[in-house]
Structure 1
Amino acid sequence: MIPRPANPPAFHIITGGPGSGKTTLIDALALEGFHYMPEAGRAIIRDQVAIGGTALPWSDRAAFAELMLAWELLSWHEAHARAGPVIFDRGVPDVSGYLRVSGLPVPAHLSEAARLFRYQPRVFIAPPWRAIFMADAERRQDFAEAEATYEAMVAVYTELGYELMMLPFAPVTERACFVRSAIAGDLD
């Protein structure tokens, strides 16, 4: 069994609904030298499409969720090799939120993973932002589903005892400054 750390490592999650600027923000922080772990969803979709797989959000949501869980667990372990803070583009709890939005049950092993694999207690959450939201070949959700995903993430992370820090509706440079300050302990 994986021991639950008394103090979670310097792992910081940025979550929220699709199209809310999470990945753009993480890319900006990476350019500043922050270590990061990329989002599972887009990579899994690209891989599944390339191989003709069916573990896709529009084909087999349960299988897609299992691949996301495996990705997030691997990312959590790999992040231990990085020095300093690591920014995650979503985390293990996001898989539970995804299943809730999909109307699927959250299996016991996923709930256990969310309990065991912890991140910093403050989680950055990007609210739905219509002005920047765009669908594409991998992000087929509409804005209503983006809002529902955001609400599911709020519920899941709150239930797991995380404190949510709302990202401001602001240019990426201001959002990056907000995250840097919070990680440095300048925001309460």
Structure 2
Amino acid sequence: MVAGMASKHVVLSGCSGGGKSTLLEELSHRGFPTVDEPGRRIVDEEQRGNGAALPWVDLAKFAERALRLAAEDRERMSGETGWVFFDRGLVDAAVALAFAGGDDVTDRLAPFDPYHRLVFMTPPWPEIYQTDDARRHDLGEAVAEYDRLITAYAALGYEAVVLPKFSVAERADFLLAALR
């Protein structure tokens, strides 16, 4: 998978608790199609069910489900002609799976079309980081995940654009300006 310029599918990735979901909500309010994070949707479903695929119970099972859900999201949004923003996606799921002892990231992503070459990364932001029922890992674990993601996106040919620690509206303006 080499990042593509032609794709209008743009990923927001980076550190857990760094403001991705809030930024996605802002982009949605501005009229852009958006796709919520696969991991959060899986955790919500698992917490209502038996919990077998929670990331703190079985990371590999969780990551496999996230990969399938991210692929379904891409397919579902394939008819959109303008920008579509994804809160995490295939690469994030493949990186989690590799971390859990699964397949190589490049091998797992081979069947899929790349996202837009720019990936927007939320950096670690201790001042806003919070745990909750769906995010149980501490900031140190979140930073380690961020480091794995930055490395993987670069190895796959993406250009990581680290979002500044601005207000949500300013972050959205920055992101949209970078895509012009």
When the two structures are superposed, what TM-score results if normalisation uses the length of structure 1?
0.88
Query: Any residues of structure 2 matched to 1:109-188 within 5 Å, and which?
Result: 111-115=106-110, 116-183=112-179, 185=180
What letter matches 2:48 in structure 1?
A
**Residues 92 and 113, structure 1, Cα contact 8 Å, conserved in 2:** no
Indicate how the Cα distance of structure 1 residues 169 and 7 shifts in structure 2: closer, same or farther if over 3 A, else same: closer
Q: SS at 1:62's partner residue?
A: helix
- C-alpha deviation, 1:113, in angstroms: 4.1
Q: What is the Cα-based RMSD across aligned positions, in Å?
A: 1.8
What letter matches 1:128 in structure 2?
P
**Aligned residue pair count:** 178
Unaligned runs of 5+ in 1: none
Instruction: Find the partner of 2:59 among 53, 58, 61.
Output: 61
**Residues 92 and 117, structure 1, Cα contact 8 Å, conserved in 2:** no
Unaligned runs of 5+ in 2: none
What is the percentage of aligned positions where both structures have the same residue? 34
- C-alpha deviation, 1:139, in angstroms: 0.4
What letter matches 2:109 in structure 1?
A
Instruction: Find the partner of 1:72 among 62, 70, 73.
Output: 70
- C-alpha deviation, 1:180, in angstroms: 1.2
What letter matches 2:80 in structure 1?
R
| Counterpart residue number, 1:17 | 15
**Residues 10 and 118, structure 2, Cα contact 8 Å, conserved in 1:** yes
When the two structures are superposed, what TM-score results if normalisation uses the length of structure 2?
0.92
